[in-house]
Structure 1
Amino acid sequence: MKQITDSILMIRPVAFRMNEETAVNNYFQKNIDGNVDEITQKAQKEFDEFATKLRRVGVKVMVVDDIAENNTPDSIFPNNWVSFHETGDIALYPMFAENRRRERREDILQRLEDEGFQINNIIDYTAGEEEQVYLEGTGSLLLDRANEKAYCALSERASEDLLIEFCEDFEYFPVIFEANQTVEGERKAIYHTNVMMCLAEQFAVICLDTIDDKKQRKAVLNSLKEDGKEIITITEEQMHQFAGNMLQVQGAFGKKFLVMSERAHQCLTEDQVTKIEKHCEILSSSLQTIETLGGGSARCMLAEIFLPKISE
């Protein structure tokens, strides 16, 4: 199985704002003064510049506009409700915030088929919402597709039972742990695994300081090491600048890039940059408005498409 792809789905915002329903356990979100129109314009500018940069290096970006009537302020983060797999399978995920459930759109799946992608099977976990159990896509699940492992930091948005169910369905081995951040002096669960960890083909960027349990920390490290990953550690402070929220993608001519926000890029040390650049180039873009209000960064905005193409 491939670990990285050159095809990405992105959802362009139409009414971007801070989502009050997610702020209860996403401690990365902060409010900004300004009306929705001003904020949306800023977010759209950041989005468009980001998508342009990706296309410029040969990443195939499929952009779909959000629907204003749906009132889905977090639609810009599509990787939480859907994941696409090389087998032609799609997984649909149960979402913690009620207003995020409206992000799931059949017309997007239809558009993928229209673009020549093959969908064989939809595996739907959304019934979990009725029992208040959630698993928010590749926000909760860090998939090592090549080694068939699913790393998951448990939280209100990542249920262990659903993780096990996913792993049985997709034949992944679960690597389960707890990751915390300090919020007003208290250790609280990090809402998504993909803000404290990034898995690339030959390396992993990880904030080990968030895994308070030493045994769990060792188990995660051992799992990464046995697959030959170079481990690049970041501090909790760097994680708060979204240095864990990165994604490796493939551009033209097989060239590889680690995609992140400008803020994440600027907080990296020279040593960390050197380690990353041994493996691939860094591509960064300013996402200040999106990060601050949305509490998610570059990786959250990219839903990787691994679906097979229908042969001509």
Structure 2
Amino acid sequence: MQQITNTVLMVRPVAFRMNEQTAVNNYFQEDLNDDNVNERAQAEFDAFVTKLRGVGVNVVVVDDVKEEDTPDSIFPNNWVSFHENGQIALYPMFAENRRKERRLEYFAKLEEEGFKITNIVDYTAAEEEDYFLEGTGSLILDRENQKAYCAISPRADEDLLIEFCEDFEFTPVIFHANQDVGGKRKPIYHTNVMMCVAEEFAVICLETIDDKKERKNVLKHLKKDGKEIVVISEAQMHEFAGNMLQVKGAFDKKYLVMSARAHESLNPDQIAKIEKYCEILSSDLEVIETCGGGSARCMLAEVFLPKE
């Protein structure tokens, strides 16, 4: 299986703002109290798309619908994942207003591009029982080695993770990741803010994994699969330095995509380790990060579907 793809699905926002329903356990969010916040987010989104397309990434852009009032629609990776066997997974979402983001009509746009969908695996019924698993926000998929790294949280249920792994033939690597919130250690809402797995390396905030045995186990898996470990600090994680995604551009050239804020937080040693394997592509996402509490990786739903 391939670890990285040339195609991503992105959703252009129409009602972007700080989502009060997700702010209860996403400690990265802040309200900017700005009436122009959606326009500013759209400008960041458009500039990001232009940068990605500029290096040859195939970006499929779909437009959100105003009537649905979905402030977090810019982060599609939480409700859907696309797989090489033609399957699509749909995920149960913690915030009620995020459930309206699951719009199956978006898939028609992928089919127009020649992608083949064989089956939809739907986990969304778990919402009725208050169990959640928020896509590749919760799951860091090492597709090549068929492992799913997951930090258990209110948005990542262990039983659902195991069900996903059985269905898609991944081995679960389960742990707990915490951050300091007002002097207390609280679960990090999504694994993808503290960890990124690329082809040859992994970026990870180890100090969030408080349990030494769990930390050792995660490292053992990454090292066994030959990944060079790029360790970031909790302070860097708060600048979204864990929220990165490796993609392919023109001529299969590899890029590690991140926000300008994440890029600026990295030290020369970390940058050198990453640049051994690929170029860094960063874009200013300040408004999206501040209000949305998510960054570059959250905006990219990777498309691994086969072509017709």
- Asked if TM exceeds 0.5, the reply is yes
Distance 2:252 2:90 in 1: 29
Q: How does 1:110-189 map to 2 (within 5 A)?
A: 110-189=108-187
Distance 1:34 1:159 in 2: 35
User: Deviations for 1:115-144, whole angstroms, at most 9, x for unmatched residues?
Assistant: 211000100000000000000000000000
Residue type at the aligned position of 1:2: Q
The answer for the alignment partner of 1:224 in structure 2 is: 222
User: Deviations for 1:17-67, whole angstroms, at most 9, x for unmatched residues?
Assistant: 0000000000000110211xx111110110000000000000000000110
Q: 1:206 aligns with which of 176, 182, 204?
A: 204
Percent of aligned pairs with the same residue? 72
Please report the RMSD computed on the Cα atoms of aligned residues, expressed in angstroms: 0.4
Distance 2:140 2:213 in 1: 20
Q: 1:240 aligns with which of 206, 222, 238?
A: 238
- Secondary structure, counterpart of 1:106 in structure 2: coil
- Secondary structure, counterpart of 2:174 in structure 1: strand
Distance 2:187 2:25 in 1: 8
Shift of 1:106: 1.3
Distance 2:252 2:121 in 1: 31
Shift of 1:254: 1.0
The answer for the alignment partner of 2:17 in structure 1 is: 17
The answer for the alignment partner of 2:3 in structure 1 is: 3
Q: 1:286 aligns with which of 236, 261, 284?
A: 284
Structure 1 position 191 matched with structure 2 position 193? no
The answer for the alignment partner of 2:77 in structure 1 is: 79
Distance 2:252 2:42 in 1: 29
Q: Unaligned regions of 5+ residues in structure 1, if any?
A: none
User: Deviations for 1:130-163, whole angstroms, at most 9, x for unmatched residues?
Assistant: 0000000000000000000000000000000000
Superposed structure 1 runs of 4+ greater than 4 Å apart: none
The answer for the alignment partner of 1:31 in structure 2 is: 31
Residue type at the aligned position of 1:187: R
> Structure 2 length normalisation: TM-score?
1.00
Shift of 1:270: 0.4
Distance 2:10 2:131 in 1: 26
Distance 1:74 1:39 in 2: 13
Distance 2:275 2:236 in 1: 18
Distance 1:168 1:174 in 2: 9
Distance 2:161 2:104 in 1: 24
Residue type at the aligned position of 1:10: M
Residue type at the aligned position of 1:128: A
Residue type at the aligned position of 2:126: G
Q: Unaligned regions of 5+ residues in structure 2, if any?
A: none
> Structure 1 length normalisation: TM-score?
0.98
Structure 1 position 69 matched with structure 2 position 99? no
Distance 1:12 1:240 in 2: 24
Q: 1:303 aligns with which of 288, 301, 304?
A: 301
The answer for the alignment partner of 1:46 in structure 2 is: 44
